[in-house]
Amino acid sequence: MESSYMTLLSLIVFLPALGALALAFFPREKTETIKVFSLVVTAVVFLLTVVMALPGEGVWQFDTAVSDMQKVFSVGWIPSFNIDYFMGVDGISFPLVLLTTFITMLSMAASWPIEKHVKAYCMLFLVLETGVLGVFLALDFFLFYVFWEVMLLPMYFLIGVWGGPRREYAAIKFFLYTLLGGVFMLIAILMLYFASDLKLLNKDQLVAAHVISASAAAEEQEAQLAEIQSADDPVHTFNILALQQLGQHTEAFNSEILGKSLQWWAFLLLLVGFVIKVPSVPVHTWLPDAHVEAPTPISMILAGILLKLGGYGIIRICYPICPQAGYDLAYFVCALGVVSMVYGAFAALAQKDFKRLVAYSSVSHMGYVVLGIGVWSAVAGNNFNPDAWKMGMNGAMFQMIAHGVASPGMFFIVGIVYERVHHRNLDQFGGLFAKMPVYSGLAFVIFFAGLGLPGLCGFIGEVFVTLSVWTYSHALAVVAASVVILTAAYILWTLQRVYLGPEYKGPHGDHLTPITSRELAIAVPIAVFAIVLGVYPQSVFRYMTPSVDQTVDALAAWTEREKPAGEETQTAQRPAVEQTARVRLPHVNKTP
Amino acid sequence: MSLYDLMHSLTADSMRSVGGFEGELVLCATIVLILLLRIPRLTSRIDSFYVMLVGSAVALYMAGPWHPVEQPSQLFTGLLINDTFTVYFRTLLLFFAVLFAIFTRISGVPDRDAAPDVYALVLGATLGMCIMASANNALMIFLGVEMASVPSYALAGLLKGRRQSSEAAIKYAVYGAGTAGIMLYGISLLCGVLGSAHIPTMGVRLAELLQPANLEAGVGLDTHMVLALGGLMVMVGLAFKLSAVPFHFWCPDVFEGASAEVNAFLSVASKAAALALLARVAIGFGYIAPPIETQAEEQVALFNVADEPAQQPETKEQEAKPPAEEEEVLLVEEPSGSAAAFSPLADRAEQIAALAPARDYLAWVLAFMAMITCTFGNLAAYGQTNIKRLLAYSTIAQAGYMMMPVPAAMVLAGSNPAAAQGAIQAMVFYAGAYLFMNLGAFAIVAFLRNVLLSEEIEDYAGLIRRAPITVICFSLILVSLIGIPPLAGFVGKFQIFSALVQAKLWIVLLVAGLNTAISLYYYLRVVKTMTIDPEPETRRPVSMSFIPGTYVVLVSVPLLILGIWPESLNALARMATGQLF
């Protein structure tokens, strides 16, 4: 079993890298062949994940009934540091993996206009995909970090070589920000590693963390347990699941450093590393530059996938490993999300560059993700009812997927028009509807999805997050809800300036040809998904909800154990909500 | 002990010691051979490259880790120590010598006329470095450093016609002489107070001096300042070899003036030996190594005064004498006023505990130096336009990183020797990875110099279109120097960071982390110039021939391999540090 899981996940992760290796032997001039080959590789990877998503009981099928990690395998890699080649997938990572392979395939298809150094482009592109998929599937913290950093160099070159006029500045800025975040993360990883000790866990917890194989015979399990327990020194681990168990069930990460607990520092360092990627205000400034300068397909990847890594890291690592710190800093995290939402929306309103506007809309939309994750609503005051938090975290996850569909679409829409008229100045657009009706129709669908119009994918995530915040903090909820108005303002205003109006008066007006079939083939699936996810969100929720709920339940149980009523240190003004009440709909006018 | 007995046991000891000294002896023979072969007309036509290559390869074979060292042993009456740590660094140095010989052959510097001189100097310096790595006696520290340095001064002036080169050599020599003097003074202070030049004995003496009873009673306090000063002065000499701030001024000038080949030698071999020596000195004075089980009768206790408790510490060195006379000086008996301070301690654990103040002192001095060195090197590298100067500052910064595990080991040694061993292991690993990184970098600089006739970074613009393989390898090397996975530099840095976390040296850790981010910019600038920038129109056609290209690939590929499967080098590093704690 384990070996077939290993084949499956390794294939998904490393097939793109192998493709890149194979590309090295292609002749440089055969650009068309190289592009087709790369597209085929990304398509095969996508198909593999689709096979996983299909309903069924097969070894390769993702089981939606299981909330724990599945398809788990572990092979020793660097024994001196207990580092394993350890991967698995659950409902939190699987939708993101699916999103990654889907968007990567589409953006490879969107890469056809690239004419410069095609071979190098495709190789870097495929290596990038390996890095992203590796991050989502890795369960060993070291492995996670390696994949996390492996992405940087391809991304640097993809922006720096194939980007716009200020590409070098944008590329190095992206690299510096992310590397700095990565260094903080590395420090936190090491702090957690050296504080961890598998000996503190009991057998059930070790089995849950896959340290002890669940499928092994009872005697074998006992032998493995005895081996761990008999070690003289602490048994450190990079196993993310074991670190979660240690964080939630033991005192391992509570030692004091410089006046705060170890997990407080680790949480903060990890959070900085992740929110740089998300990105949240005030560490978001690399994003507008990177987006504006990156070529269209890379913008799609950046917005659609790379930003999700930050949110994924917070859900998978920050909260489950450092619950105490997460509890203490919950309000801070939520406030970070709300500030990003408001700031991003206002900044988007002020933009004159079409692509920059979309970039700031990403900052705003990803704020929902941070906010939704941070809603620690399970407190003594409401009898540790985790429902609102579940709603928030599910909303955050859904928002990641929705944004992962809508935002690449928006960048692609911008890219189509930029390719024709070679400018992105919002003031010089207008009247595109008349010249490119099909394109404009798709643009409306995708932009409305970004806006959060009911019936389209953006709505579900936003409304879930906003509702969940109400139980946590009225103030934040009111602010978060009012951001919808700002979002509507900048998107509608943009649509008005670009597509409506009598006629196009800007430069290169005669180049405004109708959308090509290749472009349609990319834009239509995005638009379709934007509608399907909006109408039938259960299609995504059925994969993610069990795992997300389990994560929240574990943290709520931790809160109940560690923060019983009376001892609670209040960090936020929390309303007394009737215990049984489900979250009620606040009166927010969602329609623009 | 009669003269006969002394001679007898000395002979026996020397014969026994030769076994652990074969690599060095082969080096000596090779040097002599290179020098003699040029005299007779018949043999003068033999290319000394082959002698160098065969000599260093044989030395590598004789000294390599495939001859397991079960037990550390002291050589030549305790002057040197032959343990796995020695073996590792000796292997590293000799392996480098082999690679270096091939490198110089491909790059064509030195030419055939200068080759015998250069190879003799290189091997001589390597010999000195081997001694640095195995020094077990304060005298050998000095001798090793000098033996490594003096040939390096000459090597720096290798390009005889170039004014810059001569200037670099003079600067290097003057600086080296100055710091050597200071270090010798420091050594004499330490030996004087502690009554021995044998480092393990000095460690024991220091423990006795610093034992809690003494500190409480205020005995021997007058010597503490002398010891601190002596320690600091020894650090000066080591810092010079490591090019640590503030003794780094020679480094950029020498690197710019000297040829890239010499730079490779100075930055890899010299630095590795200096690191090994730094670890030896720090452990020697901050920790008591496990006792060496030897045939005590055979061991001549020339320097090992601690073995003779009846005798009082007799040495008080008056002034720095030339090394040859020094051993007699050490034996001059002189009643010591503070002898009462040296009351023996019960066991090793107590001695180690007593050394805590020494460890703290070393940890803080070294941590401070490492942080400054790292930060300064990285910041100064920003403005550089010459690739050799940039790499010079890069080596300064890298020296800072590589020093960091030593203070971590000092912090950990008292409470957790296993973790301290891990810290030194990190340094040892990094030194191994560093060999490939800097040898590769300077080899590429040399090969590009041959085709471009330039060492300015701006002349590398757009080179990827002309020499893609070389540029990709150079990029890999530079990225490895930043410390980004999956390259060997990252694994090294990861281990250094883990040592710092274990030692809870948060400030050092933060500085190291920030420095990684700082260093990104200038390393990446070189990569960017080579890959993204457009080609200058005036450049002559560039083409990299097959052999240099192959060499470059062979030197860079290990970075990737060690980055993904670091366990092999890890195992070697663990073996190397296994006998230290």
- The pair of three-digit structure tokens given for residue A103, joined into one six-digit string: 């968007």
pLDDT in tens, A137-165: 999 999 999 999 999 999 999 999 998 88
Three-class SS string for B3-60?
A: HHHHHHHHHHHHHHHHHHHHHHHHHHHHHHHHHHHCCCCCHHHCCHHHHHHHHHHHHH
Percent of chain A with pLDDT over 90: 57
What is the residue type of A73?
Answer: F
pLDDT-based confidence at residue B315 (cuts at 50, 70, 90): very low
Given its phi and psi angles, is residue A65 left (phi above 0), alpha (psi -120 to 50 degrees) or beta? alpha
Between chains, do A257 and B532 touch, taking CB under 8 Å as contact? no
Q: Is A450 exposed, middle or buried (0-12, 13-18, 19+ CB in 10 A)?
A: buried
Please count the helices (runs of H) and the strands (runs of E) in chain B: 24, 2
Q: Is A25 exposed, middle or buried (0-12, 13-18, 19+ CB in 10 A)?
A: exposed
- How many other C-beta atoms can be found within 10 angstroms of the C-beta atom of residue A59? 11
- The strand ranges marked E within B142-227 are none
Q: Is the pLDDT of residue A589 over 50?
A: no
Rounded distance between C-alpha atoms, residue A93 and residue A401, angstroms:
11
Between chains, do B513 and A184 touch, taking CB under 8 Å as contact? yes
A81, A117, A150, A166: best to mutate for the B interface, most B CBs within 10 A: A81
User: Could you tell me if A568 lies within 8 Å of chain B, comparing CB atoms?
Assistant: no
**Residue whose structure tokens are 């003269």:** B3
Q: Is the pLDDT of residue B80 over 50?
A: yes
* B181 domain residue, yes or no: no
Least confident window among A9-13, A391-395, B41-45: B41-45
**Residue whose structure tokens are 């090491």:** A190
Using an 8 Å CB-CB cutoff, list chain A residues near B510: 187
Q: Is the pLDDT of residue A278 over 50?
A: yes
Q: Which residues of B225-257 are buried (b: 16+ CB within 10 A; e: fewer)?
A: eebeebbebbbbbbbbbbbbbebbebbbbbbbb
Question: Crossing angle, helix A141-150 and helix A167-195, to 10 degrees?
Answer: 170
A249-252: which pairs have CB atoms within 8 A and are 24 or more residues apart?
A: A249/A201, A249/A205, A250/A200, A250/A201, A252/A195, A252/A196, A252/A197, A252/A200
B490, B502, B520, B530: best to mutate for the A interface, most A CBs within 10 A: B520
Query: Which residues share a beta bridge with A257?
Result: A260
Rounded distance between C-alpha atoms, residue A405 and residue A331, angstroms:
29
Residue B500 Cα, gap to closest chain A Cα (Å): 9
Q: Which residues contact B4 (CB under 8 A, 6 or more apart)?
A: none
What is the residue type of B439?
Answer: L
Rounded distance between C-alpha atoms, residue A560 and residue B119, angstroms:
73
- The pair of three-digit structure tokens given for residue B327, joined into one six-digit string: 């051993």
* B365 domain residue, yes or no: yes
CA A341 from centroid of its chain's CA atoms: 16
Q: Is the pLDDT of residue B304 over 50?
A: no
- The pair of three-digit structure tokens given for residue A540, joined into one six-digit string: 């995504």
- How many other C-beta atoms can be found within 10 angstroms of the C-beta atom of residue A590? 16
Phi/psi of residue A489, nearest 5 degrees = -60, -50
Between chains, do A183 and B514 touch, taking CB under 8 Å as contact? yes
Percent of chain B with pLDDT over 90: 61
Longest dimension (CA), chain B: 81
* B315 domain residue, yes or no: no
Helix or strand holding residue A257 (H, E): strand A256-257
Q: What's the pLDDT score for residue B341? A: 63
Rounded distance between C-alpha atoms, residue A256 and residue B253, angstroms:
46
pLDDT-based confidence at residue B307 (cuts at 50, 70, 90): very low
Q: Specify the higher pLDDT residue, B431 or B307.
A: B431
Rounded distance between C-alpha atoms, residue B472 and residue B463, angstroms:
10
User: Could you tell me if A233 lies within 8 Å of chain B, comparing CB atoms?
Assistant: yes
First-last CA distance in chain A:
52
Percent of chain A with pLDDT over 70: 95
Q: Which residues contact A351 (CB under 8 A, 6 or more apart)?
A: A357, A360, A426
Please name the residue of chain A whose CA is at the shortest distance from the CA of residue B574: A80
Helix or strand holding residue A83 (H, E): strand A83-89
User: Could you tell me if A156 lies within 8 Å of chain B, comparing CB atoms?
Assistant: yes
Q: Is the pLDDT of residue B313 over 60?
A: no
Using an 8 Å CB-CB cutoff, list chain B residues near A167: 532
Q: Which domain holds residue B451?
A: 359-581
Q: Which residues contact B114 (CB under 8 A, 6 or more apart)?
A: B158
Beta strand pairing call for A83-89 and A260-261: unpaired
Using an 8 Å CB-CB cutoff, list chain A residues near B532: 157, 160-161, 167-168
Q: Compare CB distances from B485 to A146, A175, A257 and report the shortest one's residue.
A: A146
pLDDT-based confidence at residue A104 (cuts at 50, 70, 90): very high
Phi/psi of residue A458, nearest 5 degrees = -65, -25
Residue A188 Cα, gap to closest chain B Cα (Å): 9
- The pair of three-digit structure tokens given for residue A252, joined into one six-digit string: 């391992």
Using an 8 Å CB-CB cutoff, list chain B residues near A168: 528, 532
Q: Specify the higher pLDDT residue, B542 or B423.
A: B423
- The pair of three-digit structure tokens given for residue A75, joined into one six-digit string: 């092979």
* B4 domain residue, yes or no: no
Q: Is the pLDDT of residue A560 over 70?
A: yes
Least confident window among A87-96, B65-74, B359-368, B527-536: B65-74
Q: Is the pLDDT of residue B311 over 50?
A: no
Longest dimension (CA), chain A: 80
pLDDT average, residue stretch B242-263: 91
Q: Which residues of B143-162 are buried (b: 16+ CB within 10 A; e: fewer)?
A: bbbbbbbbbbbbbbbbbeee
* B560 domain residue, yes or no: yes
- The pair of three-digit structure tokens given for residue B315, joined into one six-digit string: 């040495």
Q: Is the pLDDT of residue B318 over 50?
A: no
Rounded distance between C-alpha atoms, residue A472 and residue A386, angstroms:
11
Q: How many structural domains are present in chain B?
A: 1
Between chains, do A150 and B485 touch, taking CB under 8 Å as contact? yes
Rounded distance between C-alpha atoms, residue A308 and residue A302, angstroms:
9
Q: What's the pLDDT score for residue A29? A: 87
User: Could you tell me if B421 lies within 8 Å of chain A, comparing CB atoms?
Assistant: no
The CB-side HSE value for A221 (13 A sphere, CA atoms) comes to 15
Rounded distance between C-alpha atoms, residue A458 and residue A460, angstroms:
6
- The pair of three-digit structure tokens given for residue B278, joined into one six-digit string: 């730094």
User: Could you tell me if B553 lies within 8 Å of chain A, comparing CB atoms?
Assistant: no
Rounded distance between C-alpha atoms, residue B51 and residue B38, angstroms:
12
- How many other C-beta atoms can be found within 10 angstroms of the C-beta atom of residue A206? 24
Mean pLDDT for chain A overall: 88
Between chains, do B498 and A78 touch, taking CB under 8 Å as contact? no
Between chains, do A190 and B531 touch, taking CB under 8 Å as contact? no
What is the residue type of B420?
Answer: A
- The pair of three-digit structure tokens given for residue B374, joined into one six-digit string: 């790292």
Rounded distance between C-alpha atoms, residue A65 and residue B313, angstroms:
79
Contact (CB, 8 A) for A69 and A211: no
Rounded distance between C-alpha atoms, residue B477 and residue B267, angstroms:
15
Q: Read out DSSP for B303-344?
A: S-GGG-TTSPP-----S---HHHHHHHHH-----TTGGG-PP
**Residue whose structure tokens are 């019936």:** A455
pLDDT in tens, B290-301: 887 654 444 444
Nearest by Cα to A8 from A129, A137, A164, A110: A137
Between chains, do B486 and A183 touch, taking CB under 8 Å as contact? no
Helix or strand holding residue B127 (H, E): helix B115-134
Q: Is the pLDDT of residue A572 over 70?
A: no
Task: Return the DSSP state at B81.
Answer: E
Between chains, do A175 and B517 touch, taking CB under 8 Å as contact? no
Question: The complex's ipTM?
Answer: 0.89
Three-class SS string for B247-313?
A: CCCHHHHHHHHCCHHHHHHHHHHHHHHHHHHHHHHHHHHHCCCCCCCCCCCCCCCCCCHHHCCCCCC
Q: What is the 3-state composition of chain A as percent helix, strand, coil, each rounded to the nearest 5? A: 70, 5, 25
Helix (H, G, I), strand (E, B) or coil at A75: strand
Q: What's the pLDDT score for residue A149? A: 93
Given its phi and psi angles, is residue A376 left (phi above 0), alpha (psi -120 to 50 degrees) or beta? beta
pLDDT-based confidence at residue B561 (cuts at 50, 70, 90): very high
Contact (CB, 8 A) for A20 and A123: yes
pLDDT in tens, A295-338: 999 999 999 999 999 999 999 999 999 999 998 898 999 999 99
pLDDT in tens, A13-64: 999 999 999 999 999 888 999 999 999 999 999 999 999 998 888 888 888 8
Q: Which of residues 54-113 of B touch A (CB under 8 A)?
A: none
What is the residue type of B298?
Answer: E
Q: Is the pLDDT of residue B329 over 50?
A: no
- The pair of three-digit structure tokens given for residue B408, joined into one six-digit string: 């971590």
Helices (H), A55-117: 93-109
Q: Which residues of A488-514 are buried (b: 16+ CB within 10 A; e: fewer)?
A: bbbbeebbebbbeeeebebeeeeebee
Between chains, do B484 and A257 touch, taking CB under 8 Å as contact? no
- The pair of three-digit structure tokens given for residue A387, joined into one six-digit string: 């429902």
pLDDT average, residue stretch B86-108: 94
Rounded distance between C-alpha atoms, residue B309 and residue A173, angstroms:
66
The CB-side HSE value for A591 (13 A sphere, CA atoms) comes to 1
Using an 8 Å CB-CB cutoff, list chain A residues near B570: 78, 80
Rg of chain A on CA atoms, in Å: 24
B494, B495, B574: best to mutate for the A interface, most A CBs within 10 A: B494
Q: Is the pLDDT of residue A501 over 70?
A: yes
* B330 domain residue, yes or no: no
